Amino acid sequence: MRIAVNGLGRIGRLVVRAITSLQDSKLELVAANSLAESDIIAHLLNYDSTHGKLTNRFQYNNNYLFNSTSKISLFRQSKPETIPWGKENIDIVIECSGKFNSKNAAIAHLTAGAKKVIISAPCENADSTIIVGVNDHLLNSNHNIISVGSCTTNAVAPIVKILNDKFGIQCGHITTVHAYTSDQNILDNSHKDFRRARSCFASIIPTKTGVSTSLKEVIPELANCLDGSSVRVPTSNVSLIDFTFYSHKTLTVQSINNEIKESAKLANMKDILDIAPAPLVSVDFNHSKFSAIFDPYETKVVGKNLGRIVAWYDNEWGFVHRIIDIVKIVELCCRDER
């Protein structure tokens, strides 16, 4: 499977790091498109403030990034339809630029010769929105524009599904306490969101999240039952889900914790859901590959039917590994069709 990445920001660079470190013969990263210069791309791949230094470091010239195990063609095109994906015989483009998150925009990659596009963001009109551990069984070879949702959707959806299957969720609210991202300002400056316009280091910043919209697509039986909000905090990575819900069945702290702990042992939750082994803090989950790490020490029940759970997630590294999981599922689907 020949893979390309469009956009080498935070997620795009970590996708490059993760795929090239796997050394999986079925997944060959052969091309990337970015408007940045080769020298800064290589430097930011090799040295990451959050995830550390690469041991197998990239070198560069005007046309390639390369290390001892990988050689990646570099393109600098602003429009996807002009990138020579066909010439490179690209099977999958991982769209990480943040600029082409609609189906109509992402189709340009297919026009350029790619066979499929995986969008690293929500996309309501995608052929499918796939959350690993929740609805990945629905992915098939006819899906050409695939959304992986958001890091938050990947964190909360597996736990919401577990709770709904066991206890029945009448309604609920999701709050994500989220690390700052590059969409925010270091110092106060103009922004379409008045609150994100403010310094990400100086304040706790309430903002919006699309998690409830994405959840409707992957757990349709809970459409119109859930809502969500986000609070950005002055930390660089690792976020937290705080989910409060009203159930059909009677709840206890023990019944919630036991159900999630047992579900985490299932095959479809391998590498998706983990359990915090102690009362930990956000830095302890940096560089975690899991979609979510459930914190049983924070579970609360009020009355008989009002429950609250907390789960941690590395909103960068964990999310990147779900993107790669979907690449692997697409590869398997296409292989089975041949």
Residue numbering of the annotated binding site for NAD(+) = 10-11, 120, 315
Q: Which two tokens stand for residue 119?
A: 């969008």
Binding residues for D-glyceraldehyde 3-phosphate: 150-152, 181, 209-210, 232
Distance CA 71, CA 309 (A): 44
β-strands 2-6, 28-33: how paired?
Answer: parallel
Place of tokens 């052929």: 127
Distance CA 121, CA 327 (A): 15
Among candidate residues 96, 151, 200, 225, the one labeled active-site is 151
Q: Is there a catalytic annotation at residue 333?
A: no
Q: Which two tokens stand for residue 19?
A: 């795929």
* Active site positions, annotated: 151
